[in-house]
Structure 1
Amino acid sequence: MKIVFLVASYMPHQIALINAIIKQYNVEIHSFSISKNFSFIPNNSKGLITYEPSNYNVIQLYRKILEINPKLIVVAGWFIKDFVGVAKKINKTLNIPVVSYSDTQWRNNWKQKLNCLISPWHLKKAFSHIWVAGIYQYEYARKLRFEKNQIIYNSLSCDIKLFQNVSFEQKTSDYPKNFLFIGRFVPVKGLHLLMDAWQQISDKKGWTLTLVGDGPLKTHYQNEESVIVKNFMPQTQLIKEIQQSGCFILPSVFEPWALVIHEAAAAGLPIIATDVCGATPHFVINGFNGYQVKPNVTSIKNALESFIMLDTKQLIRFSQNSLKLAESITPELGAAQLMSILNKA
């Protein structure tokens, strides 16, 4: 069996999902990417054949897909016009599922309202199904007039096995008192809220804050008390940083999904995350493994102080619960959701 992926770029989590599909279902995946970044494709990705769409115009890409003769096509959303154009042609010509990724939340803005209005003559002409990341994306898919049985789930999963390499046993004897942020140093990440909240805590009881990433605002935080700023690092190094941390925090003003929350949960970190992040309701339960907070200083400060007051036994319990929640979405489950549309009775 052959499947075609039309993707924006290759990321580690995407390769984990593609490999899960190949391994579980013994399929051959033909993947076209508009990016020239092939660095995340491992050499041992058996069953994955890659192409560069820059070598094809819309008609040539359409003909190439007809030549491949797939049983299923997955498209990276509807923001790449050429891919949507090809999807419409395929949907009209071949009697196969054409699936769109979606990590987009419903935000009730004019652009989304227009998309909903024209969907029957646009998106629904291109796609038979939408593959959503989570519940916030499901809401938008329904407003786009996709039926419940045309919506599938778990399109975004971190590489669970990679992040489970963090040693849990080491933390039980000496739990690290360090809050960890991973992300871009840009306004939408809410670092200004986090720093204001952090500075208002007079007694941090030995806890520190580490910020990992790059971006234009990075220098703003390099001289703050009890704050360590580190450069962006590959995932293999990030595992070591997580090993030395006791809680992950993401104070974003908005995130469509935020895969990093799932990565933190898979690594067994308790989590503080704003409730505007798409992944938050899936991987953060108040008082179970962390706290969902509002994107404001008071809410973040209260959560930080609550963590600081927890003893080692409670922190370990939160950590164990994060591991449980992480398993609710995996590359294998995402693969099963996608392939289920070919196996309906």
Structure 2
Amino acid sequence: MKSKRVVILFSRLSDYMLNMFELWCSQENVSLTVLKKSPDKKEAPFEFNLSHKNIDFFDEDKLDRQEILDLVNLINPDIIICSGWSNSKYNAVISKHYANTKCILTMDNQWHGTLKQYLGTLYSRLFIVSRFDKIWVPGKPQKKFALKLGFKEKDIMEGWYVANESKFKSTRKKIRHEFIYAGRYVDYKGVNEMWEAFIKLQENEPNDWVLTCIGTGPLFEKRKKHPQIKHLGFLQPIDLQRYTEKGGVFVLPSHFEPWGVVVHEFALSGYPLIISESVGAASQFVSRNNGIIFKTKNEEDLYGAMKKIVNKTDEQLLEMGAFSQTLAGTISSNNWINNMNNLINS
């Protein structure tokens, strides 16, 4: 049987999406072409092995509009999956092919009800929805936006982002007194409030907990120094996995986070979670049974969440971590592959 040809017009490649592409192509008779942006060497210097017999990768920013159009024409795909609608080169591909090729839109934006978004919904109903057969989003916050854009409920799929289950699923039966942050060192990630909240906790209620921060970015040189705060710098996914095996409590204080696959990763690893209300993935992976959702940009609320965790017993924290793993199973690679196969076969 002739293999199905799929083109994915992507943004920046990540370990978890690469894992899904490779997993799918290893199981199905498909030929996949992925256009992507070149890696961000400053803030996210990921190193990927891009050798797979059924996947071809191209750096979108090294090709002009016509070269991309020629490439897609040559492939003559059965399906085109496009990340968002802000890339003019990708838009040109969709404009040329949507009439005769199944086109799927993906996005991770949350609905905030801003003027820009309201204008976007008008534009979408005129120029976007008619060009795509379906939209594939991470979860409920994005589904709400997709409905506003004019997509019908039957044409909205969830679970576009899936953490690498083989790397992060854990059977660990111990907890460490360690808060862990993994992300970029930038203002909108809320790292300054996190550092101050943790230092206040140590001043008001001295304890044996530490705060470990993993990542890099513009604020790394201005990082807060404290005897119980550790800064490990950027870790490749395999090294992050080795670290998560040790156990602790994950903290993500972002001011803005459309989804946040890192929440799924730490939930799979059996971590209790402290997540700001701005993180999209909190809607899927955080409940009162496994974590705390605190008010965005609110240092006092984050301090209170850390205090509650410190005052829990190790047994309580292990129970919370087990429930995190239960919620982590609500999005899976099997569901992703089933969605992709349904697109191909429908």
TM (norm. structure 2) is 0.90
Per-residue CA shift, 1:50-82, capped at 9, x if unaligned?
234467543443343233232211112112111
**CA contact 2:6–2:31 (8 Å) conserved in 1:** yes
Match of 1:329 among 328, 331, 336: 331
| Superposition pairs of residues 1-345 of structure 1, within 5 angstroms | 1-35=4-38, 39-43=47-51, 45-53=52-60, 57-92=64-99, 94=100, 96-164=101-169, 166=170, 168-169=172-173, 171=174, 175-201=175-201, 202-286=204-288, 288-295=289-296, 296-344=298-346
1:207 to partner: Cα distance: 1.0
Query: How many angstroms does 1:155 deviate by?
Result: 0.7
Q: Report % sequence identity.
A: 26
| Structure 2 unaligned regions, length at least 5 | 41-45
CA contact (8 A) 1:159 1:330 kept: no
**1:78-126 superposed Cα distances (whole Å, 9 cap, x missing partner):** 121110121121002x1x3201111111122222222111113321243
The answer to whether the 8 Å contact 1:253/1:274 transfers is: yes
Whole-Å separation in 2 of the counterparts to 1:234 and 1:168: 21
| Separation (CA, whole Å) in 2 of partners of 1:28 and 1:248 | 38
The change in CA–CA distance for 1:49 and 1:312 in structure 2 (over 3 A counts) is same
| 2:43 alignment partner in structure 1 | none
Structure 2 vs 1, CA of residues 199 and 71 (structure 1 numbering), >3 Å: closer, same or farther?
A: same
Question: Alignment partner of 1:200: what SS?
Answer: helix
Q: Which amino acid aligns with 1:293?
A: F
- Aligned residue for 1:257, secondary structure, equals coil
Report the count of equivalent residues.
335
More displaced 10-residue stretch of structure 1: 219-228 or 200-209: 219-228
> Which residue identity lines up with residue 183 of structure 2 in the other structure?
G
| 1:141-164: CA deviation from partner (whole Å, max 9, x where unpaired) | 111101112211111111111112
One-letter code aligned to 1:118: Y
Distance 1:55 1:232 in 2: 26
Secondary structure, counterpart of 2:120 in structure 1: helix
Distance in 1 separating the partners of 2:59 and 2:214: 32
- In 1: Cα distance, 2:299 partner to 2:324 partner: 24
| Structure 1 range deviating more: 26-35 or 270-279 | 26-35
Cα contact 1:21–1:332 (8 A) shared by 2: no
If the length of structure 1 is used for normalisation, what is the TM-score? 0.90
Are the structure 2 counterparts of residues 251 and 54 from structure 1 closer, same or farther at C-alpha, using a change threshold of 3 Å? closer
Distance 2:86 2:50 in 1: 27
Q: Flag the 1:305–1:54 CA change in 2: closer, same or farther, 3 A.
A: closer
